Chain A
Amino acid sequence: KAGVTQTPRYLIKTRGQQVTLSCSPISGHRSVSWYQQTPGQGLQFLFEYFSETQRNKGNFPGRFSGRQFSNSRSEMNVSTLELGDSALYLCASSASGSRQETQYFGPGTRLLVL
C-alpha cells in the first residue's frame, strides 16, 4: 500500500505570494491533518479534514486554509506569504480520525519564503 504523498517536496516563494500544497492520503483513509514544523515553534496543528469537512482547526491566521476532495486528497493554501511561513509542512492521514488510530505522515513540503 502506498504511503502518504505530498507535492511538491520543495518550494521557494517570495513575500506576498500565495502557495498551494497537496497531500494524497493512504488509500482508504478519509481523515487528513496538516501540521507546520519550524525550529522555533516546533510541530503545530493546522487543521483536520474528514469527508470534505473541516472538523478541527489550530490557532493560525485566516491566511492558512485548506480543503479536501471527494477522493480524500487534500490541499492547503497560504495566501500573502510572510517570511515566518517558511517551514516544513507535514500532512498525515488516518482511517477515520479516531484518537486511538495511528496517523501516518508524509515526507513533507519544505517551503522557503524570501
Chain B
Amino acid sequence: GDSVTQMEGPVTLSEEAFLTINCTYTATGYPSLFWYVQYPGEGLQLLLKATKADDKGSNKGFEATYRKETTSFHLEKGSVQVSDSAVYFCALIAGGYNKLIFGAGTRLAVHP
C-alpha cells in the first residue's frame, strides 16, 4: 500500500543552521506531496506542496522538490530560527479523495 517514510527525530540544530528532513514515499501512480507542520498544542498547517514531478514547493524559506526518480520529497531550509521548532510531517495523497497518508513526523528543536 501507499506509505511515507521520514527520518526519525528529534533533530536538534543551532539557530541559522541548515536543515534537511528526508522523506521518501511509496505510491501507485502520481501522488500529490505535502509538508505539514504542527506547533505545540495546535493542529496541522500546510507548509508547502507539490502536485507533479519536478515541482518545487516553497514557503517561509522552506523548500522541497518532488523527485519521482528517487520517490523523495526532502524538506530544506537554509537558516533555521528558534520559531521553526515544531513537528514536521511529510504526507501524500495517491488516490482516494482527501485521504492524506502521513509519515511518522520529525521533531525539530532549534536552540539560540
Q: Is A56 positioned at the interface, with any CB of B under 8 Å from its CB?
A: yes
| Docked-complex contact B97 and A90, CB < 8 angstroms | no
Q: What range describes how many residues of B lie at the interface?
A: 20 to 34
Q: Contact flags (1/0) for A38-59 with B, using CB distance below 8 Å?
A: 0000111100101000011010
Residues of A contacting B101 with CB < 8 Å?
45
Residues of A contacting B88 with CB < 8 Å?
none
Q: With A43-B89, A105-B44 as given contacts, are A100 and B51 in contact (CB-CB < 8 Å)?
A: yes
Q: Is B93 positioned at the interface, with any CB of A under 8 Å from its CB?
A: yes
A4 to B104: give the CA distance in the assembly, Å. 24
Interface majority SS (helix, strand, loop, mixed), chain B? loop
A33 to B91: give the CA distance in the assembly, Å. 15
- The listed residue with most A CB atoms (<10 A of its CB), out of B43, B51, B102, B103, is B43
Q: With A48-B97, A99-B97 as given contacts, are A43 and B102 in contact (CB-CB < 8 Å)?
A: yes
Interface majority SS (helix, strand, loop, mixed), chain A? strand
- Among B89, B91, B97, B99, the residue within 8 A (CB) of A50 is B97
Residues of B contacting A31 with CB < 8 Å?
97-98
| Docked-complex contact A33 and B102, CB < 8 angstroms | no
Q: What range describes how many residues of A lie at the interface?
A: 20 to 34
Q: Contact flags (1/0) for B75-97 with A, using CB distance below 8 Å?
A: 00000000000000101011111
Residues of A contacting B31 with CB < 8 Å?
99
Q: List 21 A-B contacts (CB under 8 A).
A: A35-B100, A42-B103, A42-B104, A43-B91, A43-B100, A43-B105, A44-B102, A58-B99, A90-B43, A92-B44, A94-B98, A97-B98, A99-B32, A99-B98, A100-B51, A103-B98, A104-B46, A105-B43, A105-B45, A107-B42, A108-B43
**What 3 pairs across the A-B complex have the smallest Cβ distances?**
A99-B93, A105-B43, A43-B102
A residues neighboring B (CB under 8 Å): 4, 31, 33, 35, 42-45, 48, 50, 55-56, 58, 90, 92, 94, 97-108
Given contacts A43-B89, A97-B97, A107-B42, 18 further A-B contacts (CB under 8 A): A33-B98, A43-B100, A43-B105, A44-B102, A48-B96, A50-B97, A97-B98, A99-B31, A99-B32, A99-B93, A100-B32, A101-B98, A103-B46, A104-B46, A105-B43, A105-B45, A108-B42, A108-B43
